[in-house]
Amino acid sequence: MVFVAIGAVVSLLSLRLREQEQRYRGVFDNSEAGTFIVAPENAGPRIEEVNYVGAALLGSTTKDLIGEPITRFLDDPGAWRDFQVKVRPDKAVYGYEAALRRPDGVAVQVIVSGGRLPDGRIILTLVDITARKSAEDALRQANTKLNIMGRLTRNDLMSAVSGLLRRISEGMGEFDDPAVRRYLESLEEDARFVQRRAEITRDYQDLGLRPPGWQPLQEVIREVMSCLLLPGVSVRSWVERLEVFADPMLDRVYVNLIENSARHGETVSEVVITYQLRDDGLVIYVEDDGVGVPEAEKEKIFEYRVDGGGGLGLFLVREILSITGMTIQETGRPGEGARFEIHVPPDGYRLI
């Protein structure tokens, strides 16, 4: 009777193991990503198992790939060493970009994710991003050409404005009639406005041209403060260990916010930068002790208006942040100081 019971338990366990194996095999074979199991042998890492999508990605068949060294298909064989270091028993790797080279010479760009199995083997999933990378390259080239055209147009505009200002100055010295002088002064004001706008577009001509990346916020603010002259205003930042995923022009965000406090806060003596974790991400606070922003102006300060009534600097701040999904709003109390809140999405920050 005991042996019968043991036999029943063994049969039941064997059945469940077969069911689990079939389930995992179905996931492996039918995955929409190329999936590989790589054995780290002494002679080099070799492909032990691969699904149909993975074989098609490498321009081969599952049968022909078994036993092949994975490094044979890497455009840079050293990339495997780098990836292997990142894959530890307690940590998987996600979003690792690599270039593959198929036997027919065709290059394939992929995103690789992987983890180490209990027996030491490595399981990999590869997603083809060749089309996306090609589109990004084409868009980058188009942006570069548009940037060149914008630079040439801006240079022509600046030259024309400089010539106009020179003629206005000559006219101011030639005419004494008050009406004519008022007219020339109004023309000079308009020309100066165009000149300032052109200078700002020069500063932001590379917006969105380079890919975003992880940036240590404390270091960004430290570099910003090394370039600003703010007599009578102290800036304190408490954002150590915080990195945000942002456009390379993130420094211009804090230049504008800090300068905005110093220029418009009237009684500002201190700017404080902190952050707070929330369920929906993270919020960065930029606060000052000035006069604050009137309720009716809280949204208008971010608007771009042709007549110059809006704040172009804060308009561009919002644009820079929006590239990586961040938002900004002013939430301070009038009379108690300005308070800018920058919301960072959950995948847009990390604490190191």
Span 315-345, pLDDT tens digits? 889 989 999 999 999 999 999 999 999 999 9
Strand order in the sheet with 122-128: 44-50, 34-41, 122-128, 107-116, 93-101
Pairing mode, if any, of strands 339-344 and 327-330?
antiparallel
pTM over 0.85: no
Angle between helices 250-264 and 217-227 in degrees, nearest 10: 50
Confidence at 134, pLDDT banded by 50, 70, 90: confident
Looking at residue 4, its pLDDT comes to 42
Report pLDDT digits (tens) over 166-194.
999 988 888 888 888 889 888 988 888 88
- Which spans in the chain are helix H? 2-30, 52-57, 62-65, 78-86, 130-174, 178-203, 217-227, 250-264, 312-322
pLDDT of 10 over the 50 cut: no
Looking at residue 328, its pLDDT comes to 96
Please say whether the beta carbons of 235 and 273 come within 8 A.
Answer: yes
Rounded Cα gap, residues 84 and 122, in angstroms: 9
Work out the average pLDDT over 59-88. 86
Among 86, 58, 63, 53, residue whose Cα is nearest residue 73: 58
Burial class (CB in 10 A: 0-12, 13-18, 19+), 135: exposed
56-65, 87-96, 240-249, 319-328: range with lowest mean pLDDT: 87-96
Looking at residue 17, its pLDDT comes to 52
Report the SS3 class of residue 33.
Answer: coil
Rounded Cα gap, residues 107 and 324, in angstroms: 29
Give the best-scoring range by mean pLDDT among 71-75, 83-87, 145-149, 255-259. Answer: 255-259
pLDDT of 306 over the 90 cut: no
- Choice between 11 and 248, residue whose per-residue pLDDT is larger: 248
69-78, 93-102, 191-200: range with lowest mean pLDDT: 191-200
Confidence at 117, pLDDT banded by 50, 70, 90: confident
Structure tokens, 39? 């054995």
Looking at residue 333, its pLDDT comes to 92
Looking at residue 289, its pLDDT comes to 92
DSSP letter, residue 211: P
Confidence at 30, pLDDT banded by 50, 70, 90: confident
Confidence at 21, pLDDT banded by 50, 70, 90: low
DSSP letter, residue 87: -
Looking at residue 7, its pLDDT comes to 47
- Choice between 117 and 208, residue whose per-residue pLDDT is larger: 117
